[in-house]
Structure 1
């Protein structure tokens, strides 16, 4: 099955339905592959634009694109987003009545739908339309769920191999944000698309600041973190249900709109948490890893890991839920020795215990790194940075190393003298000369190194011993009650004078100075806040999430460019034809109102178009006015139209010929008074520019 489409049509479709002027990463090549009827496996980071890789072809295919998605609760969000872009879409799942399900099948049969989302468990209900008469493409979202090597394995996904066997000519595209080589091979084999083209985009999310802190007074640190980020959305990931509840309760007591999410909640309760978060009713969700997959919320500004994740795949995907709009975002991870022990316990007895422990070790190495964290994270996925990233805590505040040989010798000597029979806590207690029950009962106060490190705090000793473990001078015997053992390398330090470099602990609480909870809006953000309020109002009226109206990134672009005409508005990234038609007037009016208010505040009696008029009378050309006022020429021409309507001594026929006006007047009748300028532009095959159409219509209106 092959659909031949030229590149211009692809770009036009991209702008019309999704509002973008160009493709990102390998989107264009992926889309062409799918339209050519070939299978594809797409590994692209969250926020990298995976969805467009199957949604755009869906618009161009004659039949239906079937999308397999793992979470029923998030399908409505996906469908709402497509409908907001003017694309016919729906979902099919077990939450619907039999009548609703039949109505959807009828829509497919009538070719009224372009995309249909379905969970693997509900596929059987679609048997009547699972054939090449109706299906043009199959997309498997979150494809890593099919693999037991993946970090989020779902048995229901393993039935999907039948799709390619029953529809061999239909192109299939499998997509995920995270998959190592073993997982990619598993996806290809289980879906029966072993010859699929593989597209692996850069895993580097440059807009996300990476930071790791010691898990000391985590809750206080989180509160300080949020005080610096009022009114922003974020997710706090926790290992246990109990922690999600306690953290959310504590934050709510501070007046923060926080709630919890975990598998112990009912379906309706979980669904409400997700909807409230998506619709900006909840600011913070404290969740287990069950939360977040497939969420398209673009304005998540930060992700916090209250506990350390079990592997880098899960960590990468979870932090990827921040900053999907490309704006600056933050990923904060708290790291503690207790978390490592707990995660080790989770892996005990698992069928792939060795693999899980190896992945946990890599996660631990990332958390304890003293070199660029992004380099470590990306290298895990086979991508290598030549330079340090400059956007992680290590790069921004490089650790200060000192000669820690004496400290290392004290610690390693103590481990040797207790013959590897004590865990890290007891080793530190011996060094500090503690007199607790364990020390006294086991006569550890008789060890020759007892008390030789009493001048160093317990927390600092823990910091140093963990570094010795990371550098391979000692190791944790997890199978022997987590006791510390010496390694071959420790002999070099104890007997051969090898030097050991350590880093000094940092005081993490000083990193986040307390600020006022509700800082005043900066002057430069006044328009952004005005546009955000308008977006919220529209979203409430249409009962869709605010980011489906426009993303924060698009609002920032509107704030910067301040378009005041339809043509200028359409040039904004994220504005497609339908969004121009539906929302354009309201946002342009808001921008104009804002500009008028700023002119009034400055005490100027001249509106912006009057300034243009004065410069025109001074003999400046349209090009010179645009340059001096830092405006687009189309904006200057819109000023001329406004001036003429207000009765200014201005001849618009200087800029548009009488013949052109006559042609546009004839087109007006032929097109039966169309809305906007675009129908005229297309009618004349783009040969009459927008500004002339605008001026001609003004003249036609003035001349009756």
Structure 2
């Protein structure tokens, strides 16, 4: 579970620590959970004892409890550094529902609201304060924290989304580097950095930049077994998306697209198909983005179509799917974006279509950027890792976890590679034909034209350039169009083909050490290909959904709907998202076990003392009315 870097002895770390409560008792009383999960308890006790460290835990794995519980067990104020206002709002609202004194300081507060937070802070009335790195380091907040009265005014610093400190990571924010000042200004206060996405190199940079060399590293599994990974060859992305969503009507989800225009187009198409869809991208006004976000947080079945500007820090637990109609920019970005699905631990789906046109475009984005040559090299390496994942012949999850330094011994059984196994085919001769066609046509045309030549097509472009007279014309009829396009995508991913610089999607030969032996027949190549077109038609459309969402028995469906209606009414009255009142998992358990009294309610996961007092009688009333 853990890897240790020059650990501080526990007895030394605990010296002078003022511990107010037992962590397990706090967990049960405040959150209503009977026990910690995975490495949570070890992390919590390490921080309570005064220790610092780095926590790597997947989204939905319970990272927030690793600092929230110590914040209530240690004396003083816990300061949580968080990058986004939406995340702060979700966390603060959820904590207040639990009876915890929490607040946030950010630019979205009205002046009177901010003044109220300052008054609470000065009066010692807060357990947790959420701030952005800019707010913490700007102005006089650090000085005010240093001047707070009491023998132990600060309980801990928690640095969430700590991968933002790394220039090797996918979401670098320069302000995070300055957080190293906390080690100098507050050397006796525990510092806990937390992230869900960090490969080994990024971890090393987090430790170095945040001065955590004397801390401890807690590494939980990156696996999200409740998420089903489904990848499809891109044909007509809009049509494929609608077919996928047909199995997910009435569910909340996110659809990611690369451009603003594509987001607008897809959102209109989904609305026309009867989905409650909203667009979200940086080209919309602040009011439009805020309205889309609030609808997604507060309503049950909204589908947000967005660029990557949406989602980081969104704490909505019941997102049932995340769909990509374009390749993301890296495997880390893909992991983080898909991690917004199934935070409640219930089944969810990560669905993506990808095609040969995605890779050249992403490579051009990197090459045309103003980044340094070294940074471009890093980004190209990350893109290659993403391509390897998208073209994996077997278990997707094994490839994904391997990227983060974790080994999954057995195939997961919950991805398209496992559920729809593809046989390897000897593609040596077709690959030779494809490479030859690229050469014969001048190493300047895109995949569609090259495939047309191999299939003996009669297009205007073929006639314009006289390619019907080439020796490679019509020599590829043993494969159909989708099989050829799959082979193009695979050879591009493997490095046998590469985009023509500034060539608008054109292809040229790739790495000579791969291409030459293959063309000479010195090496062979086996890759998975889709079945022939006739067989695909017989099979019909592959299942696009993940495992069915676990619901109560048929007789309990009416009760579940009544509980959801009651929750929605409570949320509207308080102006908070429904999941802040109770998670779906809690409602499912209530509908299944039907507790009859407050004692029975207290045994349901997610119902702590504050929620039992606040909602107990009302929930029992709903249960009695549906008996």
Matched, 1:579 2:601: no
1:547-586 to 2 correspondence within 5 Å?
A: 547-586=579-618
- Two-structure CA RMSD over aligned residues (Å): 2.5
> Which shifted more, 293-302 or 373-382?
293-302
> CA 1:524/1:393 → structure 2, altered by over 3 Å: closer, same or farther?
farther
**Alignment length (residue pairs):** 589
Question: 2 CA distance for matches of 1:127 and 1:403?
Answer: 64
Question: 1 CA distance for matches of 2:143 and 2:521?
Answer: 76
Match of 2:199 among 177, 180, 196: 180
Shift of 1:512: 4.9
Shift of 1:256: 1.4
Match of 1:485 among 509, 525, 537: 509
SS at match of 1:270: helix
Question: 1 CA distance for matches of 2:543 and 2:40?
Answer: 39
Question: 2 CA distance for matches of 1:223 and 1:436?
Answer: 30
Matched, 1:545 2:577: yes
Shift of 1:385: 0.7
Listed as ranges, the gaps of 5+ residues in structure 1 are 515-520, 596-704
Q: Which residue of 2 aligns with 1:289?
A: 308
Question: 2 CA distance for matches of 1:510 and 1:251?
Answer: 20
> CA 1:471/1:168 → structure 2, altered by over 3 Å: closer, same or farther?
closer
Shift of 1:194: 2.6
Match of 2:528 among 495, 503, 508: 503
Shift of 1:147: 1.7
Match of 1:373 among 378, 385, 396: 396
Q: Which residue of 1 aligns with 2:290?
A: 271
1:120-159 to 2 correspondence within 5 Å?
A: 120-123=133-136, 124-125=138-139, 126-131=141-146, 133=149, 134-159=153-178
> Which shifted more, 375-384 or 71-80?
71-80
Shift of 1:416: 4.7
Shift of 1:457: 3.5
Q: Which residue of 2 aligns with 1:336?
A: 355
Question: 2 CA distance for matches of 1:220 and 1:404?
Answer: 29
Contact 1:276 1:282 in 2 (8 A): no
Contact 1:402 1:504 in 2 (8 A): yes
Question: 1 CA distance for matches of 2:286 and 2:581?
Answer: 27
Question: 1 CA distance for matches of 2:417 and 2:144?
Answer: 54
SS at match of 2:17: coil
1:422-433 to 2 correspondence within 5 Å?
A: 422-433=445-456
Contact 1:120 1:160 in 2 (8 A): yes
TM-score, normalising length: structure 2: 0.88
Question: 2 CA distance for matches of 1:400 and 1:188?
Answer: 43
Contact 2:180 2:209 in 1 (8 A): yes
Instruction: State the Cα deviation string for residues 391-429 of structure 1 (Å, max 9, x = none).
Output: 001101101334434423322333454564554334223
> CA 1:167/1:489 → structure 2, altered by over 3 Å: closer, same or farther?
closer
Matched, 1:163 2:209: no
Matched, 1:531 2:550: no
Question: 1 CA distance for matches of 2:544 and 2:39?
Answer: 42
Matched, 1:3 2:17: yes
SS at match of 2:564: helix
Shift of 1:128: 4.5
Q: Which residue of 2 aligns with 1:386?
A: 409
Matched, 1:118 2:150: no
Question: 1 CA distance for matches of 2:275 and 2:342?
Answer: 21
1:200-599 to 2 correspondence within 5 Å?
A: 200-280=219-299, 283-348=302-367, 349=369, 350-351=371-372, 352-418=375-441, 420=443, 422-454=445-477, 456-470=479-493, 474-479=496-501, 481=503, 482-485=506-509, 487-496=512-521, 499-505=524-530, 507=536, 510-512=541-543, 522-595=554-627
Contact 1:424 1:484 in 2 (8 A): no
Matched, 1:15 2:34: no
Listed as ranges, the gaps of 5+ residues in structure 2 are 1-14, 546-552
Question: 2 CA distance for matches of 1:185 and 1:496?
Answer: 44
Q: Which residue of 1 aligns with 2:102?
A: 89
Contact 1:165 1:192 in 2 (8 A): no
> Which shifted more, 427-436 or 237-246?
427-436
Match of 2:47 among 34, 49, 56: 34
Contact 1:4 1:36 in 2 (8 A): no
> CA 1:445/1:480 → structure 2, altered by over 3 Å: closer, same or farther?
farther
> CA 1:224/1:429 → structure 2, altered by over 3 Å: closer, same or farther?
closer
Question: 1 CA distance for matches of 2:572 and 2:493?
Answer: 52
1:618-633 to 2 correspondence within 5 Å?
A: none
Contact 2:169 2:202 in 1 (8 A): yes
SS at match of 1:174: strand
Instruction: State the Cα deviation string for residues 461-487 of structure 1 (Å, max 9, x = none).
Output: 111233344455x22154373433164
SS at match of 2:218: strand
Shift of 1:187: 1.8
> CA 1:296/1:222 → structure 2, altered by over 3 Å: closer, same or farther?
same
SS at match of 1:203: coil
Shift of 1:531: 1.8
Matched, 1:193 2:215: no
Shift of 1:282: 6.0
Q: Which residue of 2 aligns with 1:48?
A: 61
Contact 2:19 2:75 in 1 (8 A): no
> Which shifted more, 525-534 or 416-425?
416-425
Q: Which residue of 2 aligns with 1:72?
A: 85
Question: 2 CA distance for matches of 1:226 and 1:280?
Answer: 18
> CA 1:560/1:147 → structure 2, altered by over 3 Å: closer, same or farther?
same
Q: Which residue of 1 aligns with 2:9?
A: none
Contact 1:431 1:452 in 2 (8 A): yes
